[in-house]
C-alpha cells in the first residue's frame, strides 16, 4: 500500500438539501470517520458551522461530493453543490476546496448502515455522515492510486 503524496487531515462534505454530512480522516489519510451532520436548510448557518469545523480540524483541504448522473452528466443538484462549494471556498480560503464525483455514495452508505443493523428512520442523520465517509475514503484511495489530488479544485472568486 503506497502512502499519500500529501500528508494532512482532510474534511469531506456530503451536501444535501436538509442535511450536510461531514467526515474527517487521520493525518496519514488512511481512515475516514464520521464527524457530524450539519442542518442544511439555513445555508448561512450551515456555512458558519462548516467554517468552525475547518478551524477546529485544520484540514489541508475540504472535499465536497459532486452529484452526477450515472452517465456522468450534471443536473440541478450538481449546480447547487458547485455554488455551495464556491461559497465555502470563499469562506475558508486559503484552505482549498475540491469537488469529487460522489455517484452512488449515498446508496453505498445506506447499504453499509443497513448491513450493520441501523434502522432507516434512526439512520437519516448518520447516513449523511456515512456518505461523507464514503466520499472521503474514495478521494483518499484515488489520490493514493494516482499520486494526484482528487477531483477538481474550486476557484476562489472574490
Q: Is residue 103 part of a domain?
A: yes
Q: Is residue 92 part of a domain?
A: yes
Q: Is residue 4 part of a domain?
A: no
- pLDDT mean across residues, the chain: 88
Q: Is residue 122 part of a domain?
A: yes
* Confidence band, pLDDT 50/70/90 cuts, at residue 78: very high
CATH code, 27:
3.30.420.140
Distance CA 151, CA 158 (A): 22
Domain residue limits at 126: 10-146
How high is the pLDDT of residue 2?
46
Q: What is the pLDDT of residues 30-51, one digit of tens each?
A: 999 999 999 999 999 999 999 9
Q: Count the domains in the chain.
A: 1
> What is the percent of the chain with per-residue pLDDT over 70, rounded to a whole number?
85
Q: Is residue 152 part of a domain?
A: no
- List CB contacts of 127: < 8 A, sequence separation 6 or more: 21, 106, 109, 110, 113
Q: What is the pLDDT of residues 83-129, one digit of tens each?
A: 999 999 999 999 999 999 887 666 666 677 677 676 666 666 788 89
Q: How many residues appear in the chain?
A: 158
Q: Which of 7-21, 104-118, 143-157 has the lowest mean pLDDT?
A: 104-118
Mean pLDDT of 138-145: 91
How high is the pLDDT of residue 1?
41
Task: Count CB atoms within 10 A of the CB of residue 75.
Answer: 10
Distance CA 130, CA 75 (A): 23
CB 22 within 8 A of CB 73: no
Helix (H, G, I), strand (E, B) or coil at 41: coil
Q: Is residue 22 part of a domain?
A: yes
Amino acid at each position: 500500500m503506497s502512502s499519500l503524496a500529501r500528508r494532512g487531515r482532510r474534511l469531506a462534505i456530503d451536501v444535501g438539501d436538509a442535511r450536510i454530512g461531514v467526515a474527517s480522516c487521520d493525518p496519514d489519510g488512511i481512515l475516514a470517520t464520521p464527524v457530524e451532520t450539519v442542518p442544511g436548510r439555513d445555508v448561512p448557518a450551515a456555512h458558519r458551522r462548516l467554517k468552525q469545523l475547518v478551524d477546529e480540524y485544520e484540514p489541508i483541504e475540504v472535499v465536497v461530493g459532486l452529484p452526477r448522473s450515472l452517465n456522468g452528466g450534471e443536473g440541478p443538484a450538481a449546480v447547487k453543490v458547485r455554488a455551495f462549494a464556491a461559497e465555502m471556498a470563499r469562506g475558508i480560503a486559503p484552505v482549498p476546496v475540491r469537488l469529487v464525483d460522489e455517484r452512488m455514495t449515498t446508496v453505498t452508505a445506506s447499504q453499509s448502515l443497513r448491513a450493520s443493523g441501523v434502522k432507516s428512520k434512526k439512520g437519516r442523520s448518520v447516513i449523511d455522515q456515512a456518505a461523507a465517509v464514503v466520499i472521503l475514503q474514495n478521494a483518499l484511495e484515488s489520490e493514493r492510486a494516482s499520486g494526484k489530488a482528487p477531483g477538481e479544485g474550486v476557484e476562489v472568486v472574490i
